[in-house]
Amino acid sequence: MSQADLSVEMRPGLVGKRVKRTEDPRLLSGNGQYVDDIKLPNTAHVAILRSDQPHALIRDIRVDHAMDVPGLIAIFEAADLEGEVRPAIPSSRIKGYYATPYWPLARGKVRYVGEPVLAVVAESRYAAEDALALIEVDYEPLPFAIRQVDAVADDAPLIHEEAGTNIIIAREFGRGEVDAVFETAPVRVGAQFRMTRKTATSMENRCYLADYDRRRMAVTLWTSSNIPGIVKDALADSLSLPGARLRVIAPDVGGSFGGKGSLYHEEMLVCALARKLERPVKFTGDRLEELTASSQAFDELIDAELAVDEEGRFLALRAEVIGDIGAYSIYPWTAGLEPVQVVSFLPGPYRIEHYRGRVRGVLTPKPPTGPYRGVGRPSSTFAMERLVDMAARKLGMDAAEIRRRNLIDGEEFPYRTGSGIIWDKSAFMECLEAACAHLDYPALLERQKKAREQGRWIGIGLSCYAELTGIGSRIAVAPGMPINTGTETGTITIDSTGSVIGAFGIASHGQGLETTLAQIIADELGCALEDIEIRQGDSSLVPMSTGTYASRSAVIAGGVAIKTARVVKTKVLRAASILMDVPVEDLDASGGIIRARSSNAAMTFKELANAVYMQMGRIPHDKREDLTGSESYDPYLGTACSSCHVAVVEVDPETYGVRVTDYVVAEDCGRIINPMIVDGQVHGAVAQGIGAALLEEIHYDDEGQLVTASLADYLLPLATDVPDIGIVHIEADLPNNVGGFRGMGEGGTIGAPAAIANAISDALSPLGIEIQTLPATPDRLFRLVEQSRATHLQKGQ
Amino acid sequence: MKPVAFDYVRAQSVAEAVAALTSSGGEGKVIAGGQSLMPMMNFRMVRPSVLVDINRIPGLDRIEERGERLHVGALVRHRMTASDPVIGRHLPVLHAVMENVAHLTVRNRGTFCGSVCHADPAAEMPMMTLLLNGGVHVASPRGERVVAARDFLLSSLTTALEEDEMVTGIALDTLPPGTGWGFEEFARRHGDYALAAVVATMEGRDGCARNVRVAVMGVGDTATRLPGVEAALEGQRVDEDVIAGAVERLRAEIEPNSDLNGSADYRRHLAGVLAARVFRAAWTRAQEGGAA
Ligand SMILES: Cc1cc2nc3c(=O)[nH]c(=O)nc-3n(C[C@H](O)[C@H](O)[C@H](O)COP(=O)(O)OP(=O)(O)OC[C@H]3O[C@@H](n4cnc5c(N)ncnc54)[C@H](O)[C@@H]3O)c2cc1C
């Protein structure tokens, strides 16, 4: 037992500190291990022959020439896997929904350009691509409707005949007397808003490696996924394998932004092929495949209207939404994930008594839409925040003032929105005020006035929103989805050397969760941060896991980390009490040292572990217990994370180039675990939102071909497009969950498109232009300005 | 996205490179910086049987003053064109232009001559070669010939280069000290291929613009000089009226295409906007230069 230096103060907590990310030394020194870095002997490589047709029957496949390519192992079509792989069915409780089955390879028919048709397996990817180039597929083209407005028509060609319709999902939310209120409302504003299709584009492409263990007849899949737990459960079913013989590991993952958050054809494929060929099989996607065959995002047409009284109070809101969901309902989230959330979140953080939102999700021959940072809310916030500004403009009211009058505040919490979402108390109003204060809003308005007098087009845009995060088992994170994503299991073990190992079901892919969870455990358990290793991204760690998505991990895994650490701490102090001969009540631990409050007695975790596990007789045999705990946590409900963004833009009045010059985010994410990580999440997400607002657009031409098939055409934001971002953290009332945390990984992408659209509209307001489509490209602005000038000219005559 | 199998020859001399191209029977390709060629090979849009690597050929990596002209060797990288003091002295406009070409990593490898051989309609180097009356030095088994830039650049991604020929360098005009210049380009993001770019040079003598040169890119199948616009400025005091006239002329002369990043109408509008800025800047500099 050592004597602790009493002059050393009890260490203050790590939660709330800018602790450097423990992941970074390995990642920044090139020692990360991504799936493609894993090389197993005798690995076979797959290239996928993908459909070049948007909608067609597969008539004939000729592979003869390909078979002679040196290094070719085999070519598989769907029929070769029949009976070995069952489809994944993205089921939902929503009435009238049709779940499109999800197979590894197209069966008889292709439904989008990029859909996997054949798997070409060879000794190298080069050889596989050489063989692939020699395969001929005869297609019989089928008619199709590529745009959602056409695909909803009764006589539109069907993508899935079995469904009997292209509209495989529809929902309506609402309350009150919407139409009646609109009848008599003094002010009405409305428009058709369009958030064009995007895709997530992380730096690491999708990559999968499956290994087959002949001895155990077991499959291990390494996957660049942020939902390894869900993938495991899906594959266990699809491959008819008991969980004990299937392990899914997500090692270091180079970003996802939602794009790696669904089950993919290729994941099913490499597992099935590894089992069939009894050797490791790897698929490493390239950028072309990433853009043509990963999940896509948004693509809603939102017809929305807001009714307001003369004082700017919101009376009623109604919307009709058509979501272009692509050719399949994504597994496991379903086709409801993106479009249904648009109508459930449209009312935003505002007090709106009367609401109706209707949505239809329609099949088109494109890759499915799936999760994308912010899900649904970037679109809904764009539409709602545009309506708010349009109403303010009509009333001649300041943009901040109209928000002030309508944000839910104070005693109104908890507030139930017209769509049934419950906002627990969060700093809606405080965020607005803080963001305005940070930028000195009145001075900003003055600056804008001066600039306008000089002929410069400067605009200021606000956007307020709230999202539901850390959602427990009460609600599905994807509307109607039957999988429980609200529970998290954690295990914390102190081993015989004093190492603290925390194992969780989450799957960090850039969020720094190894750091934040370690901070939490260090505080709760009292051990040293350096002694903690967080294990995650591996289905074998906990009985059931899902992964990291939907702003859940800090809240739910953080919560279970606290609960479990408390259990282990009790055991630590019980053992210390015996070893130190000090009553438990007199003991506490911090920074890896257990101390007595009323004496100088102290011992380290290392000494304690050694005594508990190794030294016979130090603890009476009937009192000795392992220093380990395993708990689960379910916050049941979700918690609101709110924020206000303010963007200042300058539009070149001649070229219509847009530059974001100033940016501020004020956000309430509850108790902040690590401000540096929160800042990083905000910076990254705002950058992504700038991309959505100004640059990124997945475009399919009338032939159903993707024309933005490289990063020269699908434009991501560069460092030069992102201004310095001011961030104000507001820790107001903490939410009612174990840690007091709110999820904040997605927020920036939700607020930024709306704030920038509002800022551009503000800049162009002298011309009466309201932005309705994002991205606001120079070409789109040019056309809007030309139209506006033509109209003014006509009016003038 | 893997290239088809190819052979590789590392040429030690121009003669060896040309010989390798010749023996490939038209299937060979020169590789310089690889910044355009490699992506096309990975997409399998280009399938050379042999890559003739010219990077180790001595003597091609220089910018030399040869009389009134500057000779830019086949291995002069964008980075060098952007920062070389010889260029700074004779062609400050080229420095300004090069700042808009791609990003540092690409500029460290990509070559001026490679860009001209690639002949992308939205690339800066072909436009500058046209502006500066470039002479493309071409080597083949038949010896060396010099092809004028306007005869070399045929259309989008198409040049007058024969299969067994390689470019050894490009000779560019130097501009007299004090020549005014202006350059503007507009791209969706910094370093991207431009939606439109305009460059102009002019000398200011006796209060008038002389030796006016104007070139554009991104607004047609190839970069191009605009003689009509040059004529509209030549000998004029470049005031706002003259500029407006020249801009109108320019908008009439170009035939931009529509693509994802911009419609033909927008590009035509944009080229005019940039042109006006360029003419103003060039005129201002010309007057300052003339006074000096
Ligand atoms: C991300 C990115 C951004 C870019 N942005 C821009 C931009 O903004 N503006 C711009 O102008 N360019 C841009 N480029 C292209 C870049 O400038 C290329 O470097 C250039 O176009 C080609 O030069 P290279 O030396 O790399 O040629 P390579 O790629 O090696 O060759 C290109 C073609 O020219 C032929 N070739 C090359 N040298 C010779 C020779 N001496 N004789 C005969 N044939 C030859 C090759 O056979 C090939 O067909 C960009 C490229 C990238 C990757």
- Omega before A332 cis (within 30°)? yes
Side-chain half-sphere CA neighbours of A155 within 13 A: 0
Q: What is the share, in percent, of chain A residues with pLDDT greater than 70?
A: 98
pLDDT tens per residue across span A404-450: 999 999 999 999 999 999 999 999 999 999 999 999 999 999 999 99
CA of B23 to the centre of ligand 1 (A): 24
> Best residue in B270, B277, B278, B279 to probe A by mutation, most A CBs within 10 Å?
B270
Q: Give the three-state DSSP class for A387.
A: helix
The number of C-alpha atoms within 13 Å of A623 and in the hemisphere containing its C-beta is 15
- A33 CA to middle of ligand 1, Å? 33
| Per-residue confidence (pLDDT) for residue B290, from 0 to 100 | 65
Chain-chain contact of B266 with A782 (C-beta, under 8 angstroms): yes
**Cross-chain Cβ contact B273/A655 below 8 Å:** yes
Among A600, A633, A666, identify where a domain stops.
A633
Q: Are the beta carbons of B189 and A125 separated by less than 8 Å?
A: no
Partnered with residue A222 across adjacent β-strands are: A209, A249
Q: Which residues of A1-27 are buried (b: 16+ CB within 10 A; e: fewer)?
A: eeebeeeeeeeeebbebebebbbeeee
The answer, yes or no, to whether residue A7 has pLDDT greater than 50, is no
Q: In 10 A of CB A36, how many CB atoms?
A: 18
Are A675 and A738 contained in the same domain?
yes
User: How far is residue A392's CA from residue A399's CA, in Å, rounded to a whole number?
Assistant: 6
- Tell whether A129 and A64 lie within a shared domain: yes
pLDDT digits (tens, 9 = 90+) for A200-222: 999 999 999 999 999 999 999 99
Q: How many domains in chain A?
A: 3
Tell which of A578, A598, A633 closes a domain: A633
Mean pLDDT of chain A: 96
DSSP string, A236-292: HHHTT--GGGEEEE--S----TTTTSS--HHHHHHHHHHHHHTS-EEEE--HHHHHH
Look at residue A142 in the predicted model and tell me its pLDDT: 98
Whole-number percent of chain A with pLDDT over 90? 96
| Pick from A412-426, A476-490, A531-545, A651-665: least confident | A476-490
Question: Is the Cβ atom of B31 under 6 angstroms away from ligand 1?
Answer: yes
What's residue A8's pLDDT? 37
Are A614 and A688 members of one domain? Answer: no
| Contact of B81 with B98, CB cutoff 8 Å | yes
Instruction: Report the residue of chain A nearest B102, measured CA to CA.
Output: A712
The stretch A373-400 carries a mean pLDDT of 98
Q: Distance, CA B113 to ligand 1 centroid (Å)?
A: 8
Q: Check whether A796 has a pLDDT greater than 90.
A: no
A695 plus A729 within the same structural domain: yes
With respect to residue A708, please indicate whether it lies within any of the assigned structural domains: yes
Please determine, for residue A254, whether its predicted confidence score (pLDDT) is greater than 90. yes
- CB burial of A234-260 (b: ≥16 within 10 Å; e: otherwise) equals bbbebbebeeeebbbbbbbbbbbbbbb
Structural domains in chain B, sorted by start: 7-53 (3.30.43.10), 63-173 (3.30.465.10), 180-291 (3.30.390.50)
For ligand 1, atom 10, which residue shows the shortest CA distance?
B123
**What is the predicted pLDDT for the residue at A31?**
97
Q: What pLDDT sits at residue A425?
A: 95
Specify the pLDDT at position A797.
53
pLDDT tops 60 at residue A150? yes
Within 701-730 of A, beta carbons closer than 8 Å to B belong to 707-708, 712-713, 715, 717-718, 720-721
Ligand 1 centroid distance, CA of B31 (Å): 9
Query: What ipTM, to 2 d.p.?
Result: 0.95
Regarding predicted confidence, which is higher, A793 or B89? B89
Count of residues in chain B: 292
Cα B78 to Cα A202, A228, B115, B124: the distances in Å are 29, 45, 9, 11
Mean pLDDT of A85-91: 97
Chain A residue numbers with beta carbons less than 8 Å from the beta carbon of B261 are 713, 777, 779
> How many A from CA of B125 to the centre of ligand 1?
10
Minimal-distance CA residue to ligand 1 atom 5: B102
The percent of residues above 90 in pLDDT, for chain B, comes to: 96
Q: Is the CB of B167 under 6 A from ligand 1?
A: yes
pLDDT band at A643 (very low <50, low <70, confident <90, very high): very high
Do A625 and A680 belong together in one domain? no
The answer to whether position A167 is within a domain reads no
Interface residue of A197, A779, A780, A789 to substitute, partner B, most B CBs within 10 Å = A779
Query: For residue A677, is it within any domain?
Result: yes
pLDDT in the model for residue A80: 97
Task: Decide if A64 is inside a domain.
Answer: yes
Is A12 found in the same domain as A52? Answer: no
What is d(CA A288, CA A357) in angstroms, rounded to the nearest whole number? Answer: 36
Question: Is the N-terminal amide bond of A778 cis, ω within 30° of 0?
Answer: no
Same domain, A683 and A600: no
Domain coverage including residue A600: 7-32+487-633
- Tens digit of pLDDT for each residue in A703-714? 999 999 999 999
Q: Tell me, using a 6 A CB cutoff, whether residue B32 lines ligand 1.
A: yes
Which of A593, A612, A633 finishes a domain?
A633
Q: How far apart are CA B160 and CA B145, in angstroms?
A: 12
Residue-wise pLDDT for A715-746, tens only, equals 999 999 999 999 999 988 899 999 999 999 99
CATH, residue A661:
3.30.365.10
CATH of residue A51: 3.90.1170.50
Same domain, A581 and A510: yes
Residue A236 backbone phi and psi in degrees, to 5: -55, -40
A/B interface, count of CB pairs below 8 Å: 62
DSSP sequence for A501-525: EEEES---SSS-HHHHHHHHHHHHH
For residue B206, what is the DSSP state? Answer: T
Residue B292 has what pLDDT? 47
Establish if A168 belongs to a structural domain: no
Structure confidence at residue A206 (pLDDT): 98
- The per-residue DSSP string of B131-182 comes to HTT-EEEEEETTEEEEEEHHHHEEETTEES--TT-EEEEEEEE---TT-EEE
A164 within some domain:
no
Are A114 and A17 in a shared domain? no
Mean pLDDT of A596-603: 94
Q: Which parts of chain B have pLDDT scores under 70?
A: 290-292
Give me B280's structure tokens.
Answer: 């103003």
pTM: 0.96
Instruction: Name the pLDDT band for A478 (thresholds 50, 70, 90).
Output: confident
| Residue A738 resides in a domain | yes
Q: Are residues A622 and A645 in the same domain?
A: no
* Paired strand residues for A490: A504, A631
Where does the pLDDT of residue A795 fall: very low under 50, low under 70, confident under 90, or very high at 90 and above?
confident
Residues A23 and A61 in one domain: no
Residue A2 is predicted with a pLDDT of 41
Q: What is the mean pLDDT of residues A486-492?
A: 96
Q: To the nearest whole angstrom, how far is the Cα of A784 from the nearest Cα of chain B?
A: 11
Q: How far apart are CA A729 and CA A145, in angstroms?
A: 47
Q: Tokens 């606001």 map to which residue? A: A776
pLDDT average, residue stretch A639-654: 97
Q: Which of A654, A708, A786 to mutate to test the interface with B (most CBs of B within 10 A)?
A: A654
A52 and A23, same structural domain?
Answer: no
Distances (CA, A) of A572 to A482, A499, A604: 39, 13, 11
Evaluate the omega torsion of the peptide bond into residue A775 and state whether it is cis, within 30 degrees of 0: yes
Q: Is residue A299 part of a domain?
A: no
pLDDT for the residue A488:
94
Classify residue A553 by its DSSP letter. I
CA distance A354 to chain B (A): 41
Q: Which of B117, B146, B168, B222 to mutate to test the pocket of ligand 1 (most atoms within 8 A of CB)?
A: B117
